[in-house]
Chain A
Amino acid sequence: MAILEARGIVRTYGQVVALDECDFDVEAGEVTALIGDNGAGKSTLIKILSGTEQMEAGEIRFMGEAVSMSSPAVARDLGIETVFQDLALCPHLDPVRNLYLGREVRKRGLMGLLGFMDNKVMKTGSQDAFSDLGATVKALSVPVGDMSGGQKQSVAVARAASWANKIIFLDEPTAALGVVQTHNVLELIKRVRDKGIGVVFISHSMPEVLSVADRVQVLRRGRRVATLKAADSTLEQLVGAMTGALDEEVR
């Protein structure tokens, strides 16, 4: 079942048409790879579907009902989380603080009303979240800024995974990572999918796409030009769809 359907999304930046009546679908419990050449509109699409940017025309249906993604808060309330390329972590705060940023658990009673936080609950919750995903976050009280790229990525993905219950968008989650960390993040993605969440990730690495994705949706010049089942697809097909050598929409 499609959790999220986007139809005819339009977004322009001045003279540049980033999205030109673009369609997109997200299925529950599936990994969808969103691929396309530079400037195809992948990041813009994800920003619009996560409420960070606004579309000029089009419709977004969530669980069959039309919704207005007017802000990131709306998307979050629907159970949609996004990991952007810059990760949006606070480098001076530790993984626990980052995981719970904006969702701090208050203490019970008066102390909670005064703004005191239940650090114990948050720490336990973080440990569960990281070990749940097999994330290699080693120290929970070290500032995230002191961590390696792979660990930062793990924190960002784990944060999204622990709050999302419907969809996670990942904008090039492996772009800055080495071989081992890339493998870990891809494993993480599979594990999130196995929880029944729809995972959408942007990637430029076709082998990566074919190994993790269940479905591939291809954007070119702001439109979806192909939807492919990863299992039946070849590298040539993906590249062909991206570059325009192949133009039919495959269902």
Chain B
Amino acid sequence: MSATQREAAAQEIVAESNPGLVKTITRAQATQIVLVLIGLFVLFSIINPEAFLSVFNFRSIIVNASIFIVLGVGVTFVIITAGIDLSIGSVLVFSSVMSALVMESLGTEGWAIAAVGAVVAVLAGALWGLINGLLVTRAKVPAFIVTLGTMGMALGISQVITGGIDLYNVPEVLVDTVGFGDVFWEIPTLSVIALVVVVIGGIVLHKTKFGLYTYALGSNLEACRRVGIKVDYNLTWVYIVSGVCAGIGGYLSLALYQQTTIAGNSLTNLAVIAGVVIGGTSLFGGVGTMFGTVIGLLIPVTLRQGFVISGVQAFWQEVVVGIFLIGAVYVDGVRRARASRGSGTKPKQKAIGGLKIGSTEKEGNSE
């Protein structure tokens, strides 16, 4: 290559190094999912504008989504590494039981005790995250099995400790402020806390080295190992983050429901994972955004609320969420298949009954 060619190549680099914000945004699955959410809002607003477009309705949508979103923050990290955390619902219960027990033994009232309860909940969650992380990285047991195991263990231990009976001694200050209080106007404190968790989680995921390694681990674990990233260490921390989020969720749940909800979280894990996946995070790793997770978790809640308001049986929500979930994974699969063939601008292949007609695999290697 001559000097002028080299210069031209260097200029190309500069010229094409920025594909533009618009392109980046439209490419993200999160954008498509925002359109779905907006569509739902428009639909329900037309069906029953008075009830749906009320402050009360919006307040309850965000309150109902808040705890799921906090859990979703941690699950987003885990799924981006191509892992899974099924234990979050049980860890939520365990954290709230531990927190309630400690607060009860300290006297149940006042901010100091509520603060101790918060610390206990977070530590309890972190402990299960650490257990998950160590088993996944050191014992090399698949994350699905590890977290399926700890899901049962965390719930079982909670039931053993409490005898299966919910604890109701939650500090009043906690319930009044975090559970039902507003920061101002109709902005619920619970949701503001969730927002803070999301923002911190988003900054860590998208701006820091830890976040970058989260993507890298899910993208190519072996490559990370070869360049000297402490793979096991980082992966363990990812599970700890998920545990901590479940711990925070447990504490918020105590505040909102004024009890430990031992029996009420058996499907929480699946609901959160579904939301995260609907939000564009790929189960195959390497792809996902915190923004997508928030939108993905708002959709099921909006559907439920919308159906109730429209007079449709709320059970339909599960059906529609199921469709969205499968659709989201389908879209992700199509996109990954396209990526593995090369760039998206190659001639289209038609797949008929598994037979590929059109351009061949070789296209992927040509410039």
Residues of A at the B interface (CB closer than 8 Å) are: 52, 72-73, 76, 82, 84, 86, 88-93, 97, 101-104, 106, 114-117, 123, 127, 130-131, 134-143, 145-151, 176-178, 180-181, 184, 187
Does B18 count as interface, using CB distance less than 8 angstroms?
yes
The 3 closest A-B pairs by CB, nearest first: A92-B286, A102-B227, A131-B10
Does B229 count as interface, using CB distance less than 8 angstroms?
yes
A146 touches B215 (CB 8 A): no
Give A96 to B216 CA distance when docked, in angstroms: 13
Residues of B at the A interface (CB closer than 8 Å) are: 1, 5-6, 9-10, 12-14, 16-19, 204, 207-210, 212, 215-216, 218-220, 222-229, 285-287, 339-340, 342-344, 364-367
B13 touches A130 (CB 8 A): yes
Give A102 to B367 CA distance when docked, in angstroms: 28
Give A142 to B227 CA distance when docked, in angstroms: 21
Interchain CB contact (< 8 A) of B208 among A97, A117, A138, A187: A117
Interchain CB contact (< 8 A) of B5 among A92, A134, A140: A134
A138 touches B339 (CB 8 A): no
Give A101 to B344 CA distance when docked, in angstroms: 25
Q: Which residues of A contact B6 (CB under 8 A)?
A: 131, 134
B364 touches A149 (CB 8 A): yes
Interchain CB contact (< 8 A) of B209 among A115, A137, A181: A115
- A123-B17, A131-B6, A148-B342 known; A104-B209 Cβ under 8 A: yes
Q: Which residues of B contact A92 (CB under 8 A)?
A: 215, 218-219, 285-287
- A184-B1, A187-B1 known; A88-B10 Cβ under 8 A: no
Q: Which residues of A contact B226 (CB under 8 A)?
A: 52, 72, 82, 84, 88
Chain A, residue nearest B340 (CB): A145
- A76-B228, A101-B223, A178-B365 known; A93-B216 Cβ under 8 A: yes
B9 touches A106 (CB 8 A): no
CB distance from A173 to the nearest CB of B (A): 14
Q: Which residues of B contact A89 (CB under 8 A)?
A: 220, 223
CB distance from B46 to the nearest CB of A (A): 39
Q: Which residues of A contact B365 (CB under 8 A)?
A: 148-150, 176-178
Interchain CB contact (< 8 A) of A90 among B14, B286, B367: B286
CB distance from B334 to the nearest CB of A (A): 15
B10 touches A127 (CB 8 A): yes
Q: Which residues of A contact B212 (CB under 8 A)?
A: 93, 97, 104, 117
CB distance from A196 to the nearest CB of B (A): 20
Chain B, residue nearest A77 (CB): B228
Q: Which residues of B contact A106 (CB under 8 A)?
A: 209
10 CB contacts below 8 A, A to B, read A72-B226, A88-B220, A91-B219, A93-B215, A93-B219, A136-B12, A139-B13, A141-B19, A145-B339, A187-B1
A117 touches B287 (CB 8 A): no
A138 touches B286 (CB 8 A): no
CB distance from A158 to the nearest CB of B (A): 11
Give A91 to B282 CA distance when docked, in angstroms: 14
Chain B, residue nearest A73 (CB): B228
Interchain CB contact (< 8 A) of B343 among A97, A116, A147: A147
Q: Which residues of B contact A145 (CB under 8 A)?
A: 339-340
A88 touches B12 (CB 8 A): no
- A102-B227, A117-B212 known; A141-B367 Cβ under 8 A: no
Q: Which residues of B contact A134 (CB under 8 A)?
A: 1, 5-6, 9
Give A102 to B207 CA distance when docked, in angstroms: 15
Interchain CB contact (< 8 A) of B9 among A91, A104, A136, A150: A136
Extra 7 A-B pairs, beta carbons < 8 Å, given A91-B220, A178-B367, A184-B1: A52-B226, A88-B226, A90-B216, A101-B227, A102-B224, A127-B14, A141-B17
CB distance from B318 to the nearest CB of A (A): 32
- A102-B228, A134-B9 known; A88-B223 Cβ under 8 A: yes
A91 touches B14 (CB 8 A): no
Q: Which residues of B contact A91 (CB under 8 A)?
A: 219-220, 286, 339
Give A149 to B6 CA distance when docked, in angstroms: 20
Q: Which one of B210, B219, B222, B285 has the greatest number of beta carbons of chain A within 10 Å?
A: B219
CB distance from B73 to the nearest CB of A (A): 17
Give A117 to B208 CA distance when docked, in angstroms: 6
CB distance from B104 to the nearest CB of A (A): 36
Give A86 to B204 CA distance when docked, in angstroms: 30
Chain A, residue nearest B229 (CB): A102
Q: Which residues of A contact B208 (CB under 8 A)?
A: 114-117
CB distance from A113 to the nearest CB of B (A): 11
